[in-house]
């Protein structure tokens, strides 16, 4: 029998305490990539899909998982992002669980952003990795168009406008519990209440099975490739939900640092009071 040293046991314990999202933040997306089916005649398969998956991300969690990268939007986030998820993408999907990808060679046109409104993009579909003045500020939207939008048969303006028109409002339970933990059943119930006039179920994706990362819904497709009404997700998409019985609503790491600084100041004031007395 091999005996571990105290030092190796201690190192293993520290590793297990590492913030889970740093390891698992993109695990669900990787799973989706492994079952993707590309066609050698991709351009012929444009619009050859059955419905959309609308995915929305929680930026405080994304930023926490990438804390060491110092992304511009994480260092100076919009207030709106603290209480609302934002668009990740609108993805064509097939009823068998596969999906088309990169169906044409049409390049992303940055004019789409100015056509639909830069402020609209930056609020609802932000690229937190770069600042508005950065050369790669449109890289996120470029990626979503190239990989997913080219398979819809929609013009670029129509694809992005369709996604933003299906923007999924976030229940107030997220804002009210910023930095706290909620029961998964309560979050699902909140979404169902807010979506009472449509199919109300959502797919909740959590980093490490615990930290709210993404929320997904399924949207029917019109004949012209645009989005229609919400529908029940197929089992393959529903199975991407991986949250436990409780979900932690992460804070932007800069908010956590502010709290630490505030406590430190209060402690210093108390020390000064003691000295005066």
Q: Catalytic residue at 66?
A: no
pLDDT reported for residue 177: 98
Tokens of 55: 């995915």
- The 10 Å CB-count burial string (b at 16+, else e) for 60-73 is bbbbbbbbeeebbb
- Give the separation between CA 218 and CA 114, rounded to whole angstroms: 28
pLDDT reported for residue 89: 97
Catalytic residue among 28, 61, 64, 144: 144
Residue 256, class by beta-carbon neighbours within 10 Å (0-12 exposed, 13-18 middle, 19+ buried)? middle
Q: Catalytic residue at 166?
A: no
| 256 occurs within a structural domain | no
| 264 occurs within a structural domain | no
User: Which residues fall within 8 angstroms of residue 70, CB to CB, at 6 or more apart?
Assistant: none
| 65 occurs within a structural domain | yes
Q: Are 131 and 75 in contact (CB under 8 A)?
A: no
pLDDT reported for residue 47: 66
- Give the separation between CA 161 and CA 140, rounded to whole angstroms: 16
Q: Are 132 and 55 in contact (CB under 8 A)?
A: no
User: Which residues fall within 8 angstroms of residue 20, CB to CB, at 6 or more apart?
Assistant: 207, 208, 209, 210, 211
User: Which residues fall within 8 angstroms of residue 10, CB to CB, at 6 or more apart?
Assistant: none
Tokens of 118: 């830069």
| 5 occurs within a structural domain | no
Catalytic residue among 28, 64, 88, 166: 88
User: Which residues fall within 8 angstroms of residue 114, CB to CB, at 6 or more apart?
Assistant: none
- Give the separation between CA 59 and CA 83, rounded to whole angstroms: 10
Catalytic residue among 64, 137, 148, 166: 148
Low-confidence ranges of the chain (pLDDT < 50): 1-31, 33-35, 39-43, 261-264, 267-277
Please enumerate, as own/partner, the contacts of 5-9 that have beta carbons within 8 Å and a separation of 24 or more: none
pLDDT reported for residue 224: 85
- Give the separation between CA 72 and CA 124, rounded to whole angstroms: 16
| 231 occurs within a structural domain | yes
* Range(s) of the domain holding residue 35: 20-251
Q: What is the pLDDT of residues 223-277, one digit of tens each?
A: 888 999 999 999 999 999 999 999 999 999 999 876 554 444 554 444 344 333 4
- In this structure, the number of other CB atoms found within 10 A of the CB of residue 152 comes to 27
Q: Where are the beta strands (DSSP E) in the chain?
A: 51-57, 86-93, 181-183, 203-207, 211-221, 227-231, 246-248
Q: Catalytic residue at 88?
A: yes
DSSP assigned state of 76: S
Q: Are 242 and 206 in contact (CB under 8 A)?
A: yes
| 109 occurs within a structural domain | yes
Give me the number of domains the chain comprises: 1
CATH, residue 165: 3.90.730.10
3-state helix, strand, coil in the chain (%, to 5): 45, 15, 40
Tokens of 269: 């004031």
| 267 occurs within a structural domain | no
| 274 occurs within a structural domain | no
Tokens of 193: 């209440």
């Amino acid at each position: 029998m091999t005996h571990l040293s105290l030092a190796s046991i201690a190192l293993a314990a520290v590793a297990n305490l590492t913030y889970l999202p740093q390891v698992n933040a993109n695990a669900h997306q990787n799973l989706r990539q492994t079952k993707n089916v590309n066609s050698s005649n991709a351009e012929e398969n444009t619009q050859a899909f059955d419905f959309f998956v609308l995915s929305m991300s929680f930026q405080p969690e994304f930023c926490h998982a990438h804390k060491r990268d110092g992304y511009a939007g994480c260092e100076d986030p919009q207030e709106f992002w603290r209480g609302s998820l934002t668009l990740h993408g609108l993805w064509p999907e097939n009823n068998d669980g596969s999906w088309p990808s990169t169906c044409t060679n049409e390049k992303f046109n940055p004019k789409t952003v100015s056509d639909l409104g830069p402020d609209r993009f930056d609020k609802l579909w932000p690229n937190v990795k770069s600042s508005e003045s950065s050369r790669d500020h449109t890289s996120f939207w470029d990626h979503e168009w190239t990989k997913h939008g080219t398979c819809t048969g929609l013009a670029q303006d129509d694809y992005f406008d369709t996604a933003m028109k299906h923007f999924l409002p976030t229940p107030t339970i997220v804002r009210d519990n910023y930095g706290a933990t909620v029961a998964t059943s309560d979050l699902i119930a909140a979404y169902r209440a807010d979506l009472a006039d449509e199919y109300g179920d959502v797919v909740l994706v959590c980093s490490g099975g615990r930290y709210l990362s993404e929320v997904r819904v399924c949207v029917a497709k019109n004949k012209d490739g645009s989005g229609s009404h919400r529908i029940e997700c197929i089992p393959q998409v529903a199975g991407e939900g991986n949250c436990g019985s409780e979900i932690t609503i992460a804070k932007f790491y800069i908010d956590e640092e502010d709290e630490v600084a505030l406590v430190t100041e209060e402690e210093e004031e108390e020390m000064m009071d003691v000295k005066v007395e």
